[in-house]
Amino acid sequence: MTPSLLLAAGGSSSERYVNLDIHPWEWGALLIFITCLLVFDLLVVHRKPHEISFKEAAIESAVWISIGVAFTGVIYYIGRTSGIAPDGTHGVDVGARAAGEYISGFLLEKSLSIDNVFVWAVIFNYFAVPPKYQFRTLFWGIFGALVLRAIFIMAGSALIQAFSVTLLVFGAILIYTAQKIAFHDEVEVDPDTSLVLRLVRRVVPSTDRYDGQKLFTRIDGKRLATPLFAVLVMVESTDVVFAVDSVPAIFGVSHETFIVFSSNAFAILGLRALYFCLNGMQDRFRYLNYGLGAILGFVGVKMILTFTGDQFDFPVEDFHFPTWLSLLVIVVVLTVTIVASLMADKRDGPGEEDGPGDGPVVADPTFAADPTVADGDELTAPSEPGRP
């Protein structure tokens, strides 16, 4: 196999997935719907800053998940009316395959996003962000994440269409990430070592004082960034890292850009509510990292075998995992790891076993939340290391 063939257009692999004839107005309708959900959540549901209770977060999380799952019906309808199956057929079967790709991608992205939630907890703890101001910061974090994911997805789709070797690269990235997640027991999150945050601090004039939930404030006539802006920078920069893992993963279950983006978007939209549900519960999911590693490894191997099937007829010509099998693997692995974690937690009690499931931690956080100032309208954050 010559290098020129390895860099040939990757259409053969893409043809194994459903192809949807998406019109510009359908893209517009999706973006308007997502925007309306965000605006309603910001201006109606969370108009006033308040500390979100577990019950409220659980209800909101259930609503967001329901919306994401319900969109499967939209994908089914589009696939049934305008989709084309890999064998060139149309109709109900195409709709079912399109729906299968969407829900597989949604579950995959939802499961991988749990690590984002635990990292946010570390960041908020580091900067001592009062609980009632965390939601607004996450809102802008989610908005930025949607934009970043859209860019990553468009770029990934273009690369796959242009170069079939992209599947091999993505697969290798996923396998490396899988073993890193499964067998490394600690993820360090230290804002002081963040190059992005240090650059922002040099460029953007900042203050160590909170001004409600504002990202910027005025002091002595000068416009300054509040600590919440630094938190937002950290949230966005960590999402870039997670996107490098999750975006290649979802191309392992679908190559249709509309399906990839919509499943990503609806999985991300509910992360804020999920954060308030799972915050502080890292130790209860002690085996989750093994499950996430297994899922990423499965998708990575699947992508590599798809590439070798195209280029070398190994293990067979036109190798392809059925969508239903990918969905089954994701569901079974998640179910087993979560049930096993909860059973171990019930048997031993939280915190009895240290391991990959402990989630991201940071040793000796510089900032600690100060309950004596958490309810004030204007708050002073603890001084940052190396700053007056």
pLDDT digit string (tens) for 161-186?
888 788 888 888 888 888 888 876 55
Confidence of residue 374 (pLDDT cuts 50, 70, 90): very low
Q: Which amino acid is at 368?
A: A
What digits encode the pLDDT tens for the residues 46-93? 878 778 888 888 899 999 999 999 999 999 999 988 887 666 666 667
Give dist(CA 167, CA 169) in Å, integer: 5
Confidence of residue 310 (pLDDT cuts 50, 70, 90): confident
Total domains in the fold of the chain? 1
Asked if pLDDT for residue 3 goes beyond 50, the answer is no
In a domain, 318, yes or no: yes
In a domain, 384, yes or no: no
What digits encode the pLDDT tens for the residues 219-243? 888 888 888 888 888 888 877 777 7
Give dist(CA 229, CA 213) in Å, integer: 10
Structural domain boundaries, residue 172: 11-184+245-358
In a domain, 172, yes or no: yes
Cβ 61 vs Cβ 269: under 8 Å = no
In a domain, 176, yes or no: yes
Determine which of 15-19, 42-46, 225-229, 261-265 has the lowest per-residue pLDDT on average. 15-19
Cα–Cα distance list, 21 to 9, 143, 159, 232, 256 (Å): 20, 27, 20, 37, 10
In a domain, 296, yes or no: yes
Asked if pLDDT for residue 192 goes beyond 80, the answer is no
In a domain, 91, yes or no: yes
In a domain, 28, yes or no: yes
Length of the chain measured in residues: 388
- Mean pLDDT (whole number) for 29-33: 95
Looking at residue 30, its pLDDT comes to 95
In a domain, 193, yes or no: no
